[in-house]
Structure 1
Amino acid sequence: MAAPDYAIPPLSPTAASVVHRCARIAGVEVEQLLRRFEPEKGDQPLAYARSVVEYCSYIALRVETKRHDYLSDSEFHSLTYDMMIAWEAPDDETDAALQKMSFSFVDGKDDDDCGSMFCLSPTQMAIQVDGRRTVSPEAFAKIIPACPAMAHAITVRNLFDALTNSTGGRLHFLIYHKYLKCLDKVLRFAKRISGGHKAPALQLSDGEVILDIYGAATTKPILQHIGTSTWPGRLTLTTHALYFEPVSVDFSYNEAVVYDLSRDLKQSIKRESTGPWGAQLFDKAVMYKSSSTREPVFFEFPQFKGHTRRDYWFAIIKEVLHAHKFIRKYRMINLHKAEALSVATLGILRYRTVKEGFHILPAHFKTTLAFNLAEKLPKGDKILEALYGQMKDYSSRFRVDEDSVQSSSDDLTLADPFPLSAYTLVNMGLLTLKEEDNPEEWDLTVRDVQTGGTSSVQMALERSVGYSGRVEAARATLDQVKVEDIDTNVAVLKELLFPLIEIGKRLLFLAEWEDPLKSYVFLFCFLFIVYRGWIWYIFPVFLLGSTIFMLWQRHTGNGQMIGAFEVTTPPRRRTVEQLLALQQAISQLEAQVQAGNIFLLKLRSLLLAAFPQSTNKVAATMLVASAIFAYLPLRSILVLIVLEAYTRHMPARKKSSEKLVRRLREWWLRIPAAPVQLLRPQDTRRWRSRLRSR
């Protein structure tokens, strides 16, 4: 509880205490700090109090984050946690209401579900006796993005959900403290490998940062599969490329093979199954393919149980690819490019922190990787557009001059001259910028924050998340209707296409002239439609009718769920029957492919005049067809084609049509196929030379 002389109306004691601590960190008097704050007109007391807490917190965080060791400082952990509590309860009324709510929550906990202390982890047991108040997602999202190393505005809500996965949607201090300690550990490890300790001997370009290494121990290598070849080695991911170093016989690493991620090489990356000699046995691999590789490259991440290691590497490689796609789209250079890569770098380090510290691997709409999330969310391009505008706009933000801090004068200006994610990496020793790009030490401040309002990135994110709820609901319906067994899926497909199948049967019935009266009526109706020029209105009328039908269903349905689509499932086959059916289907497919090859080879022989008499006939026919298409209108050609196909089985034409088809078939059988020579693949290259050629 704050001391009485800390009182700052209308702030709560906790908020007043935070303001005093912020003023002390900034090196100015509280009155001076508050005097420089300019609230918006018409602010309510609660909004005014929150804006004061935000302003003072950002000023203090601007100063605190200049230290290299702030993530390992327990006092910094307590300060930022108190900032979030103060923002959530900035005035006395809100503070009292939240305290009452927290006490009622603790007293009303139900111990029926795993109430024994033996069911809890050490962290959960400590939370049970922790007397500090918890933090809401709104407070976390408002304060923490001011420190780019700790969170980003795009993924801050997902990060909060990951941290509070087992605490009911409220953040406890012990969880928050553990997160910052793990993050500091991950950042220190990244600095060590970038500084040369345990780092691979790679030729890195300027500004290239090592993000992660797998297979550093020769006893636990990664396996690379290319075709039927397999080779163990070490995989390194940087902000620009993937490096694979094969292990030699003496357990040393050979020259690295580089897979560029920064250029537009039409790269694709997927989760795949792999195994020895190309067999798809283990679902633990990542497939990489680009225009610079002759065939797909598979990186297998051996794991005794599960495939979380593969999923982690798949996500971080995708993040680097999406970051460079974002850079190319907006043609970023210099500081803008460094900032985009820094956002991806810090996101990957936080992703690794959540994985190692909390054993959680957020995916899809819950991922903590900014560019991956923007690519997955509906209208995510609007989020990236807002992010680019924010990077471009170096307008007014929070700044404390060196003279202000040292002399405690009344000169607290607002500016934002430099991207903070890049500066965070510079401050931590992970990134080196050009001399002209390095800012003055006291010219750095917060970018992704805004007092008393919502940034463009946050607004775009909120709209996108609103659409994502509909996508999740639609995806849930997909999981419900997916059925196994090929016979059942075929039965469902037939039922869905039943109207089209029936229409096709009716048209075939009319074209067979089994009922001449109906066939004549249909033919005369079609000719009348063509004569009046109505044929071009068939498709618009179909679209109009479909629209009227859907609107009528919407009007009469009143938003009710449609009835289930009923399908009669075929009898289940035994395993032997399924294998025989599969063999028969493969044989039929092979026969169809052979027939297609024969057709193409016969066309080749006609084009190359291997059978001169037939070539002359085909050339004459094509000459007549070209003249018809050149001089007759398209409508007349369409009528002739339909009449020829429809009246082929007409009683007056049936005999002549059958005779013509027979003569064409006999002529086609007399045409020889072009010869084919099958060559053995001359694969005499060594696997290692194939690697180096990449």
Structure 2
Amino acid sequence: MKLKYLSSIAEDVIKRCSQKLDTSVEKLVVDFEGGWHPEMGNYCRKLVEFCSGKAVSELCHNIEGNINDGSFSRLTYDMMLAWERPSYYDEEDTTENVAKEKEERKITLNTTQEQDDIPLFYSDIMPLLVNNEPNVGEDAFVWLGSLVPLVADVANGRFTFESLTAPTGNRLHFPAYDMFLKEMDKCIRHLQKHATPNGVELAEDEYILHVDGTASTQRVVRHIGSTSWPGRLTLTNYSLYFEASGVIRYEDALKIDLSKNIEQSVEPAATGPWGAQLYDKAIIYDSTDLSETVVLEFPELTSSTRRDHWLALVREIMFLHQFLSKYQIKCPIQTWELHARTILGIVRLQAAREMLRISPPVPTKFLIFSLYDEIPKGDYVLEELADSLKKGNNGQSCSASSILRSMNISKTVDSCIITDEASQADGSVNVVDDSPLLEAAIKQSREEEKEILIAKATTEELKDEGVIDSVLVITELLKPLKHVVPWFQEIFTWERPIITLAVLAASLMIIYMEWVGKTFAAFLIWAIIKMLDARKKKIREKCYEIVISRSSMASDQSTMESIVSAQHGLYTIHDMMQIANIAMLKIWSILISKADKVLVRFFSAVIMILVKIDSNI
């Protein structure tokens, strides 16, 4: 059957979907047109979505085998291509763009030779991640994640895509996509081989997600006071276990329950000999259940990548259970679905770290709850995520829990969950309808994150230009006024009535008796006495330099408010601060008798003023 207006890749995908479903293309088209209306929009794209959703439901039954033989990655990648270029006209536009890119590439190669400037990372990893075939963009990747939450999750799929395609110009090529899926399969099979921690019996729905400190990995050290104990660290979707190394075997594990609804926190920390904070490669866990904090160090030669990785994973499990408690998600189906999505997020992170080992990605880009805990408006996204979960509006033809079961991770799943998912799979798969509120919240949060990054870059630029230093200097020079201003405020607000009345009476007397000149002369004499006193106490020798502490710049504003204030305000006052600093430094030099020539001129001016006042009198 010749399908009208469809691109060649879309037509090929629909035919392969019909073969996978053991049906004809005509029947698929008839089923689709039975529920399609012109108001739904792009006919070709909706047809691709319909057929892909049907085929993916079938693929999910044996997803592990399909990944191993490459059929899953090839078909799902072509689905993304077909979704991105569903019609014949889209294919023509793509062909023209590819031709232009090839022509520009030829011109570039003929005019410039920049091979020596290409970083080692790109020259080594690029041949493994790209090819000359068509590539897919972000929207297609997120759409596939809405169909099958193995490659991505709709909640953070855009951030995942951004991290995966950073080396390849934000375009996903088939070699990278295929490698990513195979690394995920390897990670899952590797996790299934780990032994249960000693002295611990895992719950039925508790699964090991990450292990470190074994003979084949780097060390993990627990610090207790002045002693250190190497051991094995195991993370599950409920708890963190540390087993100290014994002579022959590991000792019984220390259990840190991350699922309890108690006050608990995990933060980065620095460790070193005799309590000196020299190596910033540790995490510190604190909770009301423990009598003392737990300090775990992840030794590395250079960076603190391992520590940051573990910190993100532990926080993700904590935030998962806090999310379940906050939004009162008690249904077993919904709870396990969130657990499954979190587990798959951690597996994606592990696979990306293996694929991009030379330049590991930021862990939070793959973790749902850790990501939205740190970016602006993340709480709104989590609210929409909870609402869509409670309404059952995930629009997925196969769920995260069914994928884990298909990959032999969750063997002891509640029968009610299996029954519910089976009923969903047997139903007709319509065109995927993502939650518009969730998508809008994600888009807004992502845009604000980009604005924050731009503002932070601007702030760093201001620091390089010396604006922040000018703020520090002017703050230090104005510090003596800190005590004078409150004194004047107390006088003006009548907090000290006696002093206020005395000042008022003195002011009236000076004005009535026309003693303004004499008062000014008295003030100048007082200033001279202060300068002579400063010379007598040798303050100029003590004040050889002004020491400025950066801690004095601490502010009560939030991080976002501080960044925005710096971006909009510091440029305009930079020049004014420089002028004010110079003027105040000169005045300061006069007051402490630092400049002898200036002091002589000042005394001469004062004497001339006094003589003039005396002659007028």
Same fold (TM over 0.5): yes
Alignment partner, residue 606 of structure 2: none
1:331 aligns with 2:333: no
Alignment partner, residue 572 of structure 2: 562
Q: Report the residue type matching 1:88 in the other structure.
A: E
Q: Report the residue type matching 1:423 in the other structure.
A: S
Alignment partner, residue 52 of structure 2: 57
Q: Report the residue type matching 2:69 in the other structure.
A: D
Alignment partner, residue 229 of structure 1: 227
Residue 462 (structure 1) aligned to one of 430, 439, 443: 443
Alignment partner, residue 76 of structure 2: 80
Contact 2:197 2:234 in 1 (8 A): no
Listed one character per residue, the Cα deviations across residues 419-449 of structure 1 (whole Å, up to 9, x for unaligned) are: 8112222222222212333227743549999
How do 1:541-690 and structure 2 match up within 5 A?
A: 562-564=572-574, 566=577, 568=581
How do 1:465-480 and structure 2 match up within 5 A?
A: 465-480=446-461
How do 1:366-515 and structure 2 match up within 5 A?
A: 367-394=365-392, 420-431=399-410, 432-439=412-419, 442-445=422-425, 451=432, 455-480=436-461, 491-494=473-476, 503-504=485-486, 506-507=488-489
Alignment partner, residue 264 of structure 1: 261
Contact 1:270 1:288 in 2 (8 A): yes
Quote the Cα distance in structure 1 between the aligned partners of 2:370 and 2:119: 38
1:28 aligns with 2:23: yes
SS in 1 for 2:269: strand
Residue 71 (structure 1) aligned to one of 48, 63, 67: 67
In the TM superposition, residue 213 of structure 1 has moved relative to its aligned partner by: 0.6
Alignment partner, residue 280 of structure 1: 277
In the TM superposition, residue 479 of structure 1 has moved relative to its aligned partner by: 3.6
CA 1:521–1:392 in structure 2 vs 1: closer, same or farther (change >3 Å)?
farther
In the TM superposition, residue 55 of structure 1 has moved relative to its aligned partner by: 1.4
Alignment partner, residue 13 of structure 1: 8
Quote the Cα distance in structure 1 between the aligned partners of 2:429 and 2:257: 30
Quote the Cα distance in structure 2 between the aligned partners of 1:560 and 1:303: 39
Q: Report the residue type matching 2:457 in the other structure.
A: A
In the TM superposition, residue 559 of structure 1 has moved relative to its aligned partner by: 11
How do 1:65-464 and structure 2 match up within 5 A?
A: 65-67=60-62, 68-109=64-105, 110-111=108-109, 112=112, 114-115=114-115, 120-125=122-127, 130-193=131-194, 196=195, 202-217=200-215, 220-248=218-246, 250-333=247-330, 334-359=332-357, 360-363=359-362, 367-394=365-392, 420-431=399-410, 432-439=412-419, 442-445=422-425, 451=432, 455-464=436-445
- Cα RMSD after superposing both structures: 3.6
In the TM superposition, residue 502 of structure 1 has moved relative to its aligned partner by: 5.9
CA 1:498–1:473 in structure 2 vs 1: closer, same or farther (change >3 Å)?
farther
Listed one character per residue, the Cα deviations across residues 174-202 of structure 1 (whole Å, up to 9, x for unaligned) are: 11111111111111112222xx4x87663
> Percent identity, aligned pairs only?
28
Work out the number of aligned pairs and report it: 504
Quote the Cα distance in structure 2 between the aligned partners of 1:158 and 1:283: 27
Quote the Cα distance in structure 2 between the aligned partners of 1:447 and 1:348: 31
CA 1:188–1:447 in structure 2 vs 1: closer, same or farther (change >3 Å)?
farther
CA 1:449–1:217 in structure 2 vs 1: closer, same or farther (change >3 Å)?
farther
Contact 1:214 1:221 in 2 (8 A): yes
Q: Report the residue type matching 1:491 in the other structure.
A: V
Listed one character per residue, the Cα deviations across residues 110-156 of structure 1 (whole Å, up to 9, x for unaligned) are: 3447436995534423567x321111111111123422222101111
CA 1:106–1:144 in structure 2 vs 1: closer, same or farther (change >3 Å)?
farther
Q: Report the residue type matching 1:439 in the other structure.
A: T
CA 1:496–1:42 in structure 2 vs 1: closer, same or farther (change >3 Å)?
farther
Alignment partner, residue 553 of structure 2: none
Contact 2:395 2:432 in 1 (8 A): no
Of stretches 108-117 and 169-178 in structure 1, the one that deviates more from structure 2 is 108-117
In the TM superposition, residue 66 of structure 1 has moved relative to its aligned partner by: 1.2
Quote the Cα distance in structure 1 between the aligned partners of 2:25 and 2:440: 32
CA 1:8–1:502 in structure 2 vs 1: closer, same or farther (change >3 Å)?
farther
Contact 2:197 2:253 in 1 (8 A): no
In the TM superposition, residue 324 of structure 1 has moved relative to its aligned partner by: 0.5
Quote the Cα distance in structure 1 between the aligned partners of 2:269 and 2:429: 37
Of stretches 233-242 and 94-103 in structure 1, the one that deviates more from structure 2 is 94-103
Quote the Cα distance in structure 2 between the aligned partners of 1:184 and 1:437: 24
Contact 1:13 1:92 in 2 (8 A): yes
SS in 2 for 1:149: coil
CA 1:22–1:455 in structure 2 vs 1: closer, same or farther (change >3 Å)?
farther
Quote the Cα distance in structure 1 between the aligned partners of 2:255 and 2:197: 16
Quote the Cα distance in structure 2 between the aligned partners of 1:496 and 1:170: 54
Quote the Cα distance in structure 2 between the aligned partners of 1:559 and 1:304: 41
CA 1:429–1:137 in structure 2 vs 1: closer, same or farther (change >3 Å)?
same
Alignment partner, residue 575 of structure 1: none
Contact 2:222 2:294 in 1 (8 A): yes
In the TM superposition, residue 34 of structure 1 has moved relative to its aligned partner by: 1.7
Q: Report the residue type matching 2:473 in the other structure.
A: A
Q: Report the residue type matching 2:79 in the other structure.
A: M
Alignment partner, residue 637 of structure 1: none
Contact 2:268 2:283 in 1 (8 A): yes
Q: Report the residue type matching 1:354 in the other structure.
A: A
Contact 1:123 1:174 in 2 (8 A): no
In the TM superposition, residue 220 of structure 1 has moved relative to its aligned partner by: 4.4
CA 1:245–1:492 in structure 2 vs 1: closer, same or farther (change >3 Å)?
farther
Q: Which has the higher helix share?
A: 2
Quote the Cα distance in structure 2 between the aligned partners of 1:101 and 1:183: 33
CA 1:559–1:139 in structure 2 vs 1: closer, same or farther (change >3 Å)?
farther
CA 1:23–1:487 in structure 2 vs 1: closer, same or farther (change >3 Å)?
closer
Task: With the length of structure 1 as denominator, give the TM-score of the two structures.
Answer: 0.66
Contact 2:197 2:241 in 1 (8 A): no
Task: With the length of structure 2 as denominator, give the TM-score of the two structures.
Answer: 0.73
Structure 2: segments with no counterpart, 5+ residues = 509-567, 586-617
Contact 1:72 1:180 in 2 (8 A): no
Quote the Cα distance in structure 2 between the aligned partners of 1:309 and 1:426: 29
SS in 1 for 2:134: coil
Quote the Cα distance in structure 1 between the aligned partners of 2:13 and 2:502: 93
CA 1:14–1:498 in structure 2 vs 1: closer, same or farther (change >3 Å)?
farther
Quote the Cα distance in structure 2 between the aligned partners of 1:246 and 1:261: 20
